[in-house]
Structures are given as C-alpha cells and as structure tokens.
Chains A and B, each alone.
Chain A
Amino acid sequence: MRRATELAAPVVLVLATALLGLAVSSALQTYFLDTLVKVAIVVALYVFIGNSGVLSFGHISFVALGVWTAGVLTVPTAEKPAIMPGLAHFLLHAHVGNAVSLLLAALVGFVFAFLVGLPLMRLSGLAAGIATFGVLEITNNVLRYYEKIGPGLNAFSSVPQTTGIWQAAIGALICVGLAFAYQRSRFGRMLRATREDAAAASAAGISIYRQRLLAFALSGALAGLAGGLYVHLLPIEIDSLYLDLTFLTLAMLVVGGSGSLLGAVVGALAIGGLDSFLSAAENGVDVVGIHLNLPTGTALIVIGALMAIILVLRPSGLSGGRELSLPRRRPRPAPAAAEPAPR
C-alpha cells in the first residue's frame, strides 16, 4: 500500500502535466513537451546523484549522446548528405524507426556511462565533480567538431518530430518507473546506505564502487532516452546541450530536493513551468489582462536567484527529501496485544 502511494504521487504529477498539455493550444503545448522531457532528464540525474550523494556535472553528455544517436539514425537517408556532409559512410545509410531510435539512445547512454564510470566511480567528492565535468567538456568538444558522427555545430533538422504529448509522457513515466524500481531494489537500498554512511556500508559488505557504477550506468541509460525524446521534439543543437542545460537540470533537482524521486519530479515541473512562463513572457504574453514583456535573460536570473534562495532557506529542497505517502495506520492498542499488527 505504502509502496504504491509513493510511486503514485510522481506518476499523477506527470500524467496531470500531460493532460494539461493536451488541453492547451499547440503553441503552448511545446512548453509542456519540453518540461516533460526535462522531467526525464532530472529523474535520470536523480537516480545517480540522489541515491549516491555524489555530484555529477557530466550527465548532460549522456543526454547529448542520446540526441546524437536518435538524431543521426532517424534523419531521412536522402537528406543526410545535406545536413551532415561529413558523416561516416556506415551511418549514411543506417536508418531506424522512432521506437528503435529511442531504445538505441538509451543503450548508447548506458554503455557510455558504464565505460566512463568504470574508472570514474573510484573517485568521490570534489575529484568526482571535476572529473564528471571533464567528461562533459570532452563530450561537448568532440560532438561539436567531429562531423563524422553528426551535424557538428548545425542543428538536427529533419528529424521526425514524433515526441508528442503521449511519447513525452510515456518516456517520462518510464524514467520515473525505472527510478522507483531501482531505488526500491536491494541495489538502490545498498547505494543509499553508502550515501548515509560510507564506512558503515562498506563494513556491512557493500561495494561502494559497484553500486555507484550500476546507478551511474542506469542513469546514463535514462539520460540517453531523454536525449532521444529531446531530438524528436525539436531541432536541437550542441550549444543547448552544455552548461545552461546542466545548470537548469541541477537547479531542478536541488530545488525539488535531491533526496527523493518526488523531489526530482516536483523540481522539474516547478522550475520547468516557471522557465516556460518566463520564456514566454520574454516574447510577450498576456496574463489576466496585463501585458507582460520581460527582457531576454530574465528566466535564468529568476531561476538562479530562486535556486540560491532555496539552498539558503531549505537546503533539502521543496520535498524535503521525502516521498509522499499516506500516513501508516498505527495499530490500535487492541486488547489482544499478541496479534501482530496488520501490514
């Protein structure tokens, strides 16, 4: 019962966002789609950062690889030479459908995160933070200039835009479901134990390295999937897969509360909603009769300030690091005290 209600809250939130997205005009729907993809990214971040307590600045590189995988494989073969003139020969004729491209994006994210994690998961603390930052820098640098595997600096145009509201919602739900299953599994629990007390956890026989590596690879897979969803949503380019997105998704995780899945989803939806609203307002928007036209760049200022304020006032985030569940019914002090309390 308790288990179900904990999963219910994030799922309901995602579904509610999707339904709301169906109700609005198609111009506004883009914002909802974008936010749902962000939910997937933040949940991917949460799987590693939330459960292990180790900071990673490198996850956007897995998203970028997902974008590249799904993008390169779904651009129509006839248009590939125009969009990606330097593309390697074996990629020129490769073409897969929507679902396969998403699976492959997740697979590439998984494999890359696993390979990167093999050496990196030995590190912790600041060294881990800087090393994952290094991964982001390297991936970004290579994808930006190595035109045999993608469009380089150009945007991914001509990718079929299959990420509608249902694909975005289902993708986000898959991430939420897998994250939940993982954190409930013995592996997730072992990793959380290492987060709380590394020494005690190792003394109990848990290999910190292996548990972190597993979480890192899983979150890499989810991030890759999110990247696949992203490239099917809009013609994305390498510049939008760098520091700004890293900052935005980390802000979402921190504002929501990195200690719980609910926090990740709430943070992504709250900041995503705010970001969407402010970006819309930067282009001019009417709210209850008042015409708002904010200067470009307001969104990042408000989000940066909000993140700093929340960190100062409530370091464990909006959710306080807890999942939402119905209060457990206390067994009444019944006269027949020998009977075990019902579960």
Chain B
Amino acid sequence: MTLGFLNLSWQTLADALALGGVYALMAVGIGLVFGILRLVNFAYGQLVMAGAYALAYSSVWGWPSWAGILLCFAVVIALNTAMDRLVFRPLRTQSPAVMLVATFAVAFLLQSIATLSFGQLGQIASALAPLNQPWIIDGVAIRKIAVVSVAVAAGCLLLLQLLLTRTSVGLQMRAAAMDFRTARMLGVRANRVIGSAVLVSGVLAAVVAVMLTVQNPLVTPTFALDDTIVVLAGVVLGGLNRPVSATLGGFAIGFASGILGGTLPTNQSQYLPTFLFAAVILVLLVRPNGLFARGGTTAERV
C-alpha cells in the first residue's frame, strides 16, 4: 500500500515519524543546554551510549526491564552532571568554539573508555525486545516502538513546554536563555538554572537511550554517534535560538532522513549521508540563523 503521489509507503512514513520523534527529543536536550550555556554538546551521543550500555548490562545480568531503565536514567544523569561540573563549568567563560572542541574531547574520551572497558563488539540489550514487535495494520507493519517513540516524544515536549512556561524555574531558564547576565542581576541563581537545565537534558538523553536501544539492541562504543552528528546538524539547521526551533530542526532532519532512507533506490541508499548533508549545507547557506528561527537579523554570538 503506498501513498501514490510520492511513491511513499505508509511503512516509510511511520518509520520516518518514529525517527523524527527520537531526534526531536535529542534536539531538545541539546537545544535546552545551548540556550542557557551557549554550549553545543557534541558528547550528548556518548551520554546516550552510556545509558544504552546500562540497559545492555542490566539485561545481561537478568534484571527486570524497569530496573534496567532506572539504572539507565541514573547512569546518564550522573554522567551528565559530572561532565558539567568537571569540564563545562570551568569553561563557562570561554567562547562557544572552545567549548565545542572541549565537548569533542569529552566525546572521544568517553567513547574510548567504552571501547576499552566493554570491547569493540558490543552487547545486546534483549530485555526490551518485545517493544520492537510490529503491529500489522492493513498490511503495514508498524513497530510498537515507533508508536511509543512518537508518543513519548510528544509527551516529553509537552511536559517540557509546561515546565518552561508554568513554573518559576522554567521562567528563570527562559530568562537565562535570553540574557544570562541580566537574569542574574534580577536575582536568578545561575547554578540552580544551569543545574536544572543539565538535569532535564540528562533525563531526555536517558529517554532517548531507552528508545534507541529498543530500535537497535546492539550497543557498541559508537552507539548514537552518527545520530548525534545528524541531530547536531538538525539543531543548527532549525535554529538554536529557541528550544522550539531546535526541536523542529531535529524532527525535520530525522523525518527527512527516514523518508530518504525509504525512497532512495537501493543502489543509491549508501549515499544517504551525502544527500542529507548536502541539504543541510544548502539550508544553512540560505538561512544561516536556522530554518525556523524568528525573522530579524540577530548577530551571530559565536
């Protein structure tokens, strides 16, 4: 069964939606931290990788899946907080370019540690496998995880929106994202705001870890590395100035990537990254501030 006009199958569409949902979540985590700290976290993928290893090992040890998910959240949040304290906090006054390079260093550090301690070959996280089973609806196999990812992504975004608009810490976070110095002068506690942003981004990374692990149970040291690169491109593409535009960018690139993956002829599917990044570069040339950024020419901060 196909959507005739675009030669798109419902299958492709469902997969693209699921990928877009997961990437949107990663994009929120990256965009939120950027908004407040002006920090593009290249090491975000390694957080997801660490969470995925937690899931894999807990299923190796025979833990029930809820305990594994709990462990995953604990590991990711602890790691994210440690990263912030040890590396990013001392660098807070440096330019975003220096911080980007620093996160690059952290990313490779974590990846090599994973290679060294867990090996190249990877672990299989089998406990969550039932979620990967498909429902067959009208000849279209929709994997349960696709529905779950879209639902979880939408739920998380809604909760985040409520947090940002309805609570005082959310208000402070938005104020800090607009103008950190003025916000501090008006009595916003810097460390509290940054701490909560880091916490939220850690929680989101853990959620992403669970969903990616279900889709792809083989956890290796480069788990989520390619996804992070694509999401980073998507976030910059969407526009880093507002969490919403960053999220939309993440969703757009996930969706585009899913659609391209499903529609490219087999002999060209290996060139998927080429098509994707060519599109990214084209969009950046036309709209350097981001596709979904609000109009007006804000000066580059970097």
* A312-B271 CB under 8 A given contacts A126-B40, A129-B97, A298-B116: no
Give the number of residues in B that approach A within 8 Å (Cβ atoms): 44
Give the complex CA separation of A69 and B58 in angstroms: 49
Task: Give chain B residues whose Cβ lies under 8 Å from the Cβ of A305.
Answer: 109
Determine which of A119, A130, A133, A295 lies in contact with B116 in the assembled complex, contact meaning CB atoms within 8 Å.
A295
Centre residue among A120, A133, A311, A312 by max chain B CB count within 10 A: A311
User: Is there an interface contact between A133 and B229, defined as CB atoms closer than 8 Å?
Assistant: yes
- Chain A interface residue count, CB cutoff 8 Å, equals 43
Q: How far is the CB of B60 from chain A (nearest CB, A)?
A: 21
Cβ–Cβ < 8 Å partners of A247 in chain B: 104-105, 108
Compute how far the CA of A135 lies from the CA of B38 in the bound complex, rounded to whole angstroms.
24
Known: A126-B240, A129-B97, A315-B94. A138 touches B105 (CB 8 A): no
Please determine whether A304 and B90 come into contact, CB atoms closer than 8 angstroms. no
Task: Verify A304–B108 contact, CB threshold 8 A.
Answer: yes
CB closest residue in chain A, given B94: A315
Q: Is the CB of A307 within 8 A of B115?
A: no
B284 partner, pick from A131, A142, A254, A308, beta carbons under 8 A: A131
In the complex the two chains form, what is the Cα distance from A137 to B232 in whole Å?
13
Chain A residues lying within 8 Å of B104, measured Cβ to Cβ, are 247, 250
The answer to the question of A277 belonging to the interface, with a C-beta cut-off of 8 Å to chain B, is no
Is the beta-carbon distance between B91 and A315 smaller than 8 angstroms? yes
> Which of B2-10, B125-133, B274-282 is near enough to bind chain A?
B274-282
Question: Measured between alpha carbons, how far is A138 from B300 in the docked complex, in Å?
Answer: 26
A167 to B111, CA, bound (A): 35
Chain A's nearest CB lies how many Å from the CB of B108?
5
Q: Is the CB of A311 within 8 A of B233?
A: no
Chain A residues with CB below 8 A from B102, complex form: 307-308, 311-312
Contacts of B152 in A (CB 8 A): none
A134 near B: Cβ within 8 Å? yes
- Binding site of A, secondary structure by majority: helix, strand, loop or mixed? helix
Q: How far is the CB of B283 from chain A (nearest CB, A)?
A: 10
- B240 vs chain A, min Cβ distance (A): 7
Whether A130 touches B105, Cβ cut-off 8 Å, given contacts A295-B116, A312-B90, is no
Given contacts A134-B280, A142-B271, A308-B109, contact A250 B229 (CB under 8 A): no
Residue of A nearest to B270 (CB): A145
List which B32-75 residues lie within 8 A (CB) of chain A.
40
Name B105's contact: one of A133, A243, A308 (CB within 8 Å): A308
Which of A53, A127, A244, A315 has the most chain B CB atoms closer than 10 A to its own CB?
A: A127
| B236 & A312 in contact (Cβ 8 Å cutoff) | no
- Interface flags for A293-324 (1: CB within 8 Å of B; 0: not) read 00111101101110110011001000000000
Q: B238-272: contact bitstring with A at CB < 8 Å (1 yes, 0 no)?
A: 00100000000000000000000000000000110
Q: Give me 7 A-to-B residue pairs in the complex whose CB atoms sit less than 8 angstroms apart, sorted by A's number.
A: A129-B40, A141-B270, A145-B271, A250-B101, A308-B106, A311-B102, A315-B94
